[in-house]
C-alpha cells in the first residue's frame, strides 16, 4: 500500500567476491565448482574468505535472482556443467561496490581485503583510488576517536569506555599505517 522506499538490493561480501571472479574471466563466465576452488584453503582468496562449494552455489543462485548473473549453458557437456556469466547490471553493481571504501575498521580484515584482491585482478587504476578513499575514511575515524578522547578527559571518565576507545585507536592506527605500506608497495 505505502510507496515502499525500495532501497536498492545489496549483496554480501561473498556474493561480490563470486561476481568479481566471474568479471575477471575473459568471457565473464564460469561454473560453480570452478569458482569454489578459488575459495579453498591455501589459495589467496581462501586465506581471507573461505567458502564451501555448497555456499558458492547458493550465492550464484542469489546473484541470478538479482539479475547480476545469468545462465549461459545448461550441461550439454561432460561433465555436466552449468555455466553462468556476469550481466551488464552485474558489472555496474560490482564497479559501484569496488569503488566504495568500507566504513568501519573491523571491515578492513574481510571486506576491504576482498575489494583489494578483486581490484588488483580487474583494474589496477581502481586500486589506487580505493586505497586513497579508504585512507580518508580511516583518517576521519582517527579524528572522531581523538575527539572522544578529549571529551572523556573533560568528563573525568577513567573506566571501561576508555579501554574500548584506546583499542579502537590502536586498531585504526594499525590499519592506517598498513594502508600506507600497501600504497608504497603498489606505487613501486
C-alpha span between 84 and 22 (Å, rounded): 8
Is residue 103 within the footprint of DNA (CB under 7 A)? no
Q: How far is the CB of 138 from its own copies (least distance, A)?
A: 12
Binding part of the chain for its own copies, among 13-21, 86-94, 134-142, 155-163 by CB under 8 A, reads 155-163
Backbone φ and ψ for 126, nearest 5 degrees, come out as -60, -35
Q: Which is nearer to its own copies, 109 or 124 (CB)?
A: 109
Is residue 103 within the footprint of its own copies (CB under 8 A)? no
Cα 113-117-119 angle, rounded to 5 deg: 115
For DNA, which residue of 25, 29, 81, 121 counts as binding (CB under 7 A)?
81
C-alpha cell at 180: 600506507
Q: Judge whether 40 and 53 are in contact, CB under 8 Å.
A: no
Q: Which is nearer to its own copies, 44 or 143 (CB)?
A: 44
C-alpha span between 126 and 118 (Å, rounded): 10
For DNA, which residue of 1, 4, 6, 80 counts as binding (CB under 7 A)?
80
H/E run at residue 14 = helix 13-24
Q: How far is the CB of 47 from its own copies (least distance, A)?
A: 6
31 strand-pairing partners = 83
Q: Which is nearer to DNA, 17 or 116 (CB)?
A: 17
Binding site for DNA (CB under 7 A): 12, 14, 31-34, 36-37, 51-55, 57-62, 75, 78-83
Amino acid at each position: 500500500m505505502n510507496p515502499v522506499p525500495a532501497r536498492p538490493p545489496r549483496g554480501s561480501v561473498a556474493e561480490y567476491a563470486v561476481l568479481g571472479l566471474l568479471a575477471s574471466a575473459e568471457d565473464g563466465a564460469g561454473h560453480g565448482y570452478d569458482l569454489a576452488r578459488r575459495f579453498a584453503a591455501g589459495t589467496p582468496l581462501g586465506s581471507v574468505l573461505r567458502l564451501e562449494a555448497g555456499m558458492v552455489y547458493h550465492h550464484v543462485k542469489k546473484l541470478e535472482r538479482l539479475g547480476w548473473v545469468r545462465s549461459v549453458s545448461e550441461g550439454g557437456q561432460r561433465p555436466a556443467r552449468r555455466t553462468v556469466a556476469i550481466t551488464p547490471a552485474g558489472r555496474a553493481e560490482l564497479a559501484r561496490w569496488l569503488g566504495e571504501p568500507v566504513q568501519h575498521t573491523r571491515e578492513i580484515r574481510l571486506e576491504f581485503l576482498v575489494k583489494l584482491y578483486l581490484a588488483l585482478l580487474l583494474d589496477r587504476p581502481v586500486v589506487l583510488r580505493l586505497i586513497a578513499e579508504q585512507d580518508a575514511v580511516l583518517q576521519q575515524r582517527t579524528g572522531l576517536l581523538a575527539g572522544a578522547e578529549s571529551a572523556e578527559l573533560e568528563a573525568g571518565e577513567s573506566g571501561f569506555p576508555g579501554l574500548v576507545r584506546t583499542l579502537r585507536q590502536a586498531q585504526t592506527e594499525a590499519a592506517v599505517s598498513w594502508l600506507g605500506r600497501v600504497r608504497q608497495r603498489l606505487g613501486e
